[in-house]
Chains A and B, each alone.
Chain A
Amino acid sequence: MTFFVDLFRNKKASLGLIILATFVIIATFGPLLVRDPTDFLGDPSQPPSARFWLGTTLQGQDVFAQTIAGARTSLVLGFVVGLIVTLIGATIGIAAGFLGGWVDDVLSLLTNVFLIMPGLPLAVVLAAYLKPGPVSMAFVLILTGWAWNARVIRAQTLSLAQKDFISAAIVSGESRLRIMFFELFPNMTSIIVSGFIGATVYAIGAQVGLEFLGLGDVSKVTWGTNLYWASNNQDLLTESWWTIVPTGVCVALVGFALVLINFAIDEVTNPKLRSESGFLRVLAQVGATAGFSTPVAKAALERTPEEGA
């Protein structure tokens, strides 16, 4: 539990969480406060003005409203897919890593095969055949994205399974299912959270990419379809940058925020990665000064609390 406390204290994580929280608030309440993004309201291709904060599209739609509305659809799908991918990855990874034997062989093979197949082309081909819409999109994203998490979690399971408390549980007769859910899973929180975040980043990015190609439902308002229309309307040619820049920046900020949180998790669990100032603080605690990787410093590192149980 100290893991989460450390996380919130971490500077990177705080920044990431603030950015993320802002977007979540925008996505939840924003659409209620702006105009209808699908209404053909203004003059076409107008640059940002007092009336339309981010200008209008070629069809005369409010870009600001579209960006806000797009936040909701893109983020919701991203998080849902991220969650499902994480659950699938965790289940398969833990099962493979812990149960071993032929189960491991089969699951690992499956994982590696899906890992190596090129994701985007597969997604493109699938999306081309399926009916456009959020369900198809989710299906495609999950199919192409689950393998990464599974592999990482399997590796972690393998190393955890060696530990004493697992042996103890086995010896005391706990059923394997119980061990998987109640012993292994809770001890991998940081990896799983990290995996969830990574999966969400992938989901949002891939979703935007596929929708940009026109493979989503283009009559819905999402970040990806906004960029699709920008491309379709030849906004580069008409130099209507206001239809392109805001969405890209939003996607980048969300991705950046999530990645920051992931780094923070990395740092909290592996103190060696912490910044120099943090490192110096640790040394100060034991009354030593910094050299580069001296035995004293090493010993000091060894004594700092590792990933809490």
Chain B
Amino acid sequence: MDFRSKLPARRVLWRAILLLLSFLTVVGCSRSESAHERGVVVVVPTQSATWIRHFNPFLFSQARWGTVGAIYEPLLIYNSAQGKYVPWLAERYGWSADNLTLTFDLRRNVRWSDGQPFTARDVVFTFELLKKYKALDQNAIWVKLRAVEQRGDFQVLVHFKEPFVPALFFVGESPIVSEHAWKDVKDPITFRDENPIGTGPFTRVKSFKTQVYELGKNPDYWQPGKPKLEAVRVPAFPGNEQTSLAMLRGEIDWAALFIPAIDRIFVDKDPEHHGYQFAKVEGTVMLYPNHLHAPYGDVRVRKAISHAIDRQLIVRIAMQGYTDPAPATGLTDLYAKYKDPSIIEEVGDFNKHDPTRAKALLDEAGLTMGPEGFRTHPDGSPWTVDVNCVAGWSDWIIAGQIIAKNLQAVGINATLHTYDFGAWFQRLQTGDFDLSISWSTTGGPSLYTYYHRQMSTETVRPLGEAAEYNWQRFGSKRADELLAALAKTNDLAEEKHLARELQRVFLENAPALPLFPGPAWGEYVSTRITGFPTQENPYAALAPYKQPGYLLTLIELEPRAKGTH
């Protein structure tokens, strides 16, 4: 290190700059981001930092996307856009007259990806596996099932302990695995199934890296001419922003994203090829009052709180206008065929933003304005309201902030409290809260599951005991009667009638206060791939993360024909 010149400082500095520039040039020239071959759809259904090779379909929320749907298929798939079941591995299904047996007639030309034929034996084996390992039975099907019987090679009978029609969804959408590949698996709970053998359209794991994996086409797929794509590629994208940017640059074809100002940022960039669908079919986000904490047991108080909330503002600010205020029944578009606006008119709409009515109801309930400018309990003691929310869930937090402000406007001393998930959930489950924002859970298209979890006396737990659902702890005998009848029937007219009555109970009692339906996010870019459900042709759900629902869309995708736009 012996410099020749008299100014070592300058020399060194210039050398360093030269080195840097040459490096940048070399690097800049070698830029080639994505090799986006024809016939490959790039989809980002969930965000993750890294991928672990895991294709066990029973742990469907842990397994890689594609496991349930592209690799392992179910007997039926529910099309939430059209509101009906699509027969898949089963050609036909039907209930017995007493609704105690569900019969599936299986398709005959289906083969597993290793060539073996798909038969009823595989279906029975799958359900027996769920019975043996409770941790795999994530929908607790076997609480209702008595037995599963095989009749010949292509018919399966599912016997129930008592009529329970809503189970059709859970039984029908269960992924089916092959007996010959799974019978020797020692521990199915921790089995990673790294080389799955399925009946689906993309069963071959072409490549698997921590940043991206690719599923290749199954050449012997049972639907003739399908799939029309060669492969599905799933990169690991870590955040919304990165994914949105990649979509804008055409590196991704299909994703589930929250994009702010989506029309300006996404659609306007290429209106012909950029589209989205935010179907309102996920659980309803609600404000749950704790009926066992005074004064929330009083229906007037609950309805007053509901009237005070400005749902339009919440939807506009917290959800960017991507959804609508929920109806007072709490029903989303998933239950479209049961929605009946006339019942809301008949009983009264407690979701209407009406601060005057709110104040009147509160006064009527004895919660009048106190000397300090806030309402007090009837005995004069101060009334403070805590609104609980999960730390880090920004849309809920904004909603909570608006709710707190709305309540203060009618004289309620309300504050928003955020807790990390564990603490928040524990409080919710054990009834240690006043008001809490939370979701309602969907369990398929059956209204039974929804209202059972909101109003059945079976789901009520005392304070201090963890409740799985019905955190508000409301039970109605009338609702129990209606729900019991609903579980036994599959006659649509009867269902609608019972549904209407259940909505009446909900509207009269306001057990929980619906805020807005959760949207199922889906966006597409059709410059390379066509066949997506569009606004003009919404044949299926666009949201790629709904398993196995996305399969209905995936199977229709094809490379854009050359020369078309």
Question: Do A and B touch directly, given a CB cutoff of 8 Å in the complex?
Answer: yes
Say how far B251's CB is from chain A's closest CB, in angstroms: 14
Given contacts A234-B241, A238-B261, A238-B265, contact A219 B418 (CB under 8 A): yes
Please state if A218 and B261 are interface contacts (CB–CB under 8 Å). Answer: no
- A residues near B261, Cβ cutoff 8 Å: 44-45, 58, 238
A38 interface residue, CB < 8 Å from B? Answer: yes
In A21-80, the 8 Å CB interface with B consists of 38, 40, 44-45, 58-60
Stretch at the interface among B61-69, B110-118, B188-196, B391-399: B391-399
Residue among A129, A132, A214, A229 facing the most chain B CB atoms (10 A cut-off): A132
A116 interface residue, CB < 8 Å from B? Answer: no
Say how far B402's CB is from chain A's closest CB, in angstroms: 7
B423 interface residue, CB < 8 Å from A? Answer: yes
A217 interface residue, CB < 8 Å from B? Answer: yes
- B residues near A218, Cβ cutoff 8 Å: 391-392, 394, 397, 418
**Interface size range of chain B in the complex:** 20 to 34
CA distance A300 to B265 in the complex (A): 67
Please state if B317 and A60 are interface contacts (CB–CB under 8 Å). Answer: yes
B133 interface residue, CB < 8 Å from A? Answer: no
- B residues near A245, Cβ cutoff 8 Å: none
**Interface size range of chain A in the complex:** 20 to 34
CA distance A131 to B389 in the complex (A): 12
Given contacts A59-B398, A217-B391, A232-B394, contact A237 B317 (CB under 8 A): no
Proximity string of chain A (224-243) to chain B, C-beta cutoff 8 Å, 1 when within and 0 when not: 00000101111011100000
A109 interface residue, CB < 8 Å from B? Answer: no
The binding surface of chain A is classed by DSSP as: loop
A128 interface residue, CB < 8 Å from B? Answer: yes
Please state if A219 and B420 are interface contacts (CB–CB under 8 Å). Answer: no
Please state if B419 and A131 are interface contacts (CB–CB under 8 Å). Answer: yes
- B residues near A60, Cβ cutoff 8 Å: 317
Say how far B374's CB is from chain A's closest CB, in angstroms: 19
Please state if B418 and A132 are interface contacts (CB–CB under 8 Å). Answer: yes
CA distance A128 to B345 in the complex (A): 46
CA distance A40 to B312 in the complex (A): 13
B313 interface residue, CB < 8 Å from A? Answer: yes
Please state if B397 and A219 are interface contacts (CB–CB under 8 Å). Answer: yes
Proximity string of chain B (415-429) to chain A, C-beta cutoff 8 Å, 1 when within and 0 when not: 010111001000000
Proximity string of chain B (223-246) to chain A, C-beta cutoff 8 Å, 1 when within and 0 when not: 000000000000000001100110
Proximity string of chain A (103-128) to chain B, C-beta cutoff 8 Å, 1 when within and 0 when not: 00000000000000000000000001
Please state if B392 and A219 are interface contacts (CB–CB under 8 Å). Answer: no
Please state if B401 and A38 are interface contacts (CB–CB under 8 Å). Answer: yes
Proximity string of chain A (131-146) to chain B, C-beta cutoff 8 Å, 1 when within and 0 when not: 1100000000000000
CA distance A214 to B260 in the complex (A): 19
- A residues near B418, Cβ cutoff 8 Å: 132, 217-219
B136 interface residue, CB < 8 Å from A? Answer: no
B259 interface residue, CB < 8 Å from A? Answer: yes
Please state if B401 and A214 are interface contacts (CB–CB under 8 Å). Answer: no
CA distance A69 to B302 in the complex (A): 35
In A211-268, the 8 Å CB interface with B consists of 214, 217-219, 229, 231-234, 236-238
Say how far A244's CB is from chain B's closest CB, in angstroms: 12
B400 interface residue, CB < 8 Å from A? Answer: yes
CA distance A128 to B419 in the complex (A): 10
Please state if B260 and A238 are interface contacts (CB–CB under 8 Å). Answer: yes
- B residues near A236, Cβ cutoff 8 Å: 241
CA distance A40 to B259 in the complex (A): 20
- A residues near B402, Cβ cutoff 8 Å: 40
Closest to A233 in B: B260
CA distance A132 to B416 in the complex (A): 13
CA distance A147 to B358 in the complex (A): 55
Residue among A44, A131, A234 facing the most chain B CB atoms (10 A cut-off): A234
Please state if A237 and B391 are interface contacts (CB–CB under 8 Å). Answer: no
Say how far A231's CB is from chain B's closest CB, in angstroms: 8
In B254-313, the 8 Å CB interface with A consists of 259-261, 264-265, 313
B residues near A (Cβ < 8 Å) are 240-241, 244-245, 259-261, 264-265, 313, 317-318, 320, 391-392, 394, 397-398, 400-402, 416, 418-420, 423
A selection of 14 A-B contacts at a CB cut-off of 8 Å is: A40-B317, A58-B260, A58-B261, A60-B317, A132-B420, A217-B418, A218-B394, A219-B416, A229-B394, A231-B241, A234-B244, A236-B241, A237-B244, A237-B265
List 10 additional A-B contacts (Cβ < 8 Å) besides A217-B418, A238-B261: A40-B317, A44-B260, A44-B320, A45-B260, A132-B418, A132-B420, A218-B391, A232-B394, A233-B260, A238-B264
- Per CB-CB distance, the 3 closest pairs between chain A and chain B, nearest first, are A234-B241, A237-B241, A232-B394
